[in-house]
């Protein structure tokens, strides 16, 4: 294993989230000195369940608070920042657009401004989303596709991307932007998302509920694959030609929501469970998928996890997690 991360001071925002807890675990495995910015205590997060929180510095606060962010970067002499903290749920964004803008837009400029003020940060990876591209007639999205989000969540990601680019162009801040699709994997505690929702329903022998009509196409990306992509990008940020650039990471599969549900049910031998299709989704882009051609050519990156392998590992994680949860309830 490369020694690149050994003793390197790394700040991870959003470290209790799906991607964040996998990233923290991998950074610790590689010998990094990790500081996590934590807004809420989430006891069931893998960060706590795996007891990785005992191995990291924890700063309590949120990305909307510039002094807290600046103090964390300064006091822990941070070299590398992975900015993952965000309000990531489309439905929440539709109900609370201002809070979403505060977290996703202001939170991003606070991270960038704190790095600019403190100085000494050598690489900043900003986690964006394929939703920053908005609704497009031409697919797949490439990095030259215009950023034109129209709904609250999508707009928040478009804005954060443009602000990140501005800090590179105007101030020379060492920034790169990642754009990925819908992450899935063990540790995602938001059961409104289609993968954990389907697995939980199947384990309980109940039909999964699909909010849309099931035909929406999404780009699904395994969290462990995402972590390796982020680390691969950060390790190459000594190359000046990639600074300020955005990179799509994807396994480039086009899968409908119904197709993903059917795949999970097939792997779990639960195909007898017919999904309930509500067709009530609002303010959501119908078709989204990414080209990762730029990442392959400029970074030499490739996906490590086929869809079926990622889903099998995810199913195994939830099977164990929900079994333990039920055991705890019964024992009380």
Residues belonging to the active site:
153
The region, left, alpha or beta by phi > 0 then psi within -120 to 50, assigned to residue 167 is alpha
CB 200 within 8 A of CB 265: no
User: Percent helix, strand, coil in the chain (nearest 5)?
Assistant: 45, 15, 40
CB 164 within 8 A of CB 111: no
Q: How far apart are CA 20 and CA 50, in angstroms?
A: 13
Cis omega (within 30 of 0) on the bond before 202?
A: no
Residue whose C-alpha is closest to residue 273's, from 181, 202, 186: 202
**CA distances from residue 266 to 179, 216, 255, 308 in whole angstroms, order as listed:** 29, 20, 15, 11
């Amino acid at each position: 294993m490369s020694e690149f991360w050994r003793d390197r001071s790394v700040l991870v925002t959003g470290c209790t989230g799906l991607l964040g807890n996998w990233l923290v675990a991998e950074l610790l495995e590689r010998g990094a000195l990790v500081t996590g910015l934590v807004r809420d205590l989430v006891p069931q997060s893998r960060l706590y369940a795996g007891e990785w929180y005992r191995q990291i510095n924890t700063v309590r606060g949120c990305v909307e608070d510039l002094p807290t962010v600046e103090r964390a970067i300064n006091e822990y002499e941070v070299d590398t920042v992975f900015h993952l903290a965000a309000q990531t749920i489309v439905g929440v964004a539709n109900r609370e657009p201002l809070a979403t803008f505060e977290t996703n837009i202001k939170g991003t400029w606070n991270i960038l401004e704190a790095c600019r003020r403190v100085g000494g940060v050598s690489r900043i990876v900003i986690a964006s989303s394929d939703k920053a591209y908005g609704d497009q007639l031409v697919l797949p999205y490439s990095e030259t596709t215009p950023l034109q989000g129209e709904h609250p969540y999508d707009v928040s990601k478009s804005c954060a991307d443009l602000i990140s680019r501005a800090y590179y162009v105007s101030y020379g801040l060492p920034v790169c932007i990642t754009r990925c699709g819908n992450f899935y994997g063990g540790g995602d505690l938001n059961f409104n998302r289609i993968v954990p929702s389907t697995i939980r329903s199947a384990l309980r022998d109940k039909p999964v509920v699909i909010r849309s009509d099931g035909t929406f196409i999404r780009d699904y990306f395994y969290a462990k694959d995402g972590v390796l992509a982020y680390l691969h990008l950060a390790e190459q940020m000594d190359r000046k030609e990639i600074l300020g650039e955005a990179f799509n990471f994807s396994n480039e599969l086009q899968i409908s929501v119904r197709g993903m549900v059917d795949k999970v049910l097939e792997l779990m031998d639960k195909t007898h469970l017919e999904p309930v299709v509500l067709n009530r989704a609002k303010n959501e882009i119908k078709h989204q998928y990414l080209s990762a051609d730029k990442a392959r050519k400029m970074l030499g990156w490739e996906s490590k996890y086929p869809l079926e392998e990622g889903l099998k590992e995810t199913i195994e994680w939830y099977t164990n997690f929900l079994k333990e949860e039920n055991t705890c309830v019964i024992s009380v």
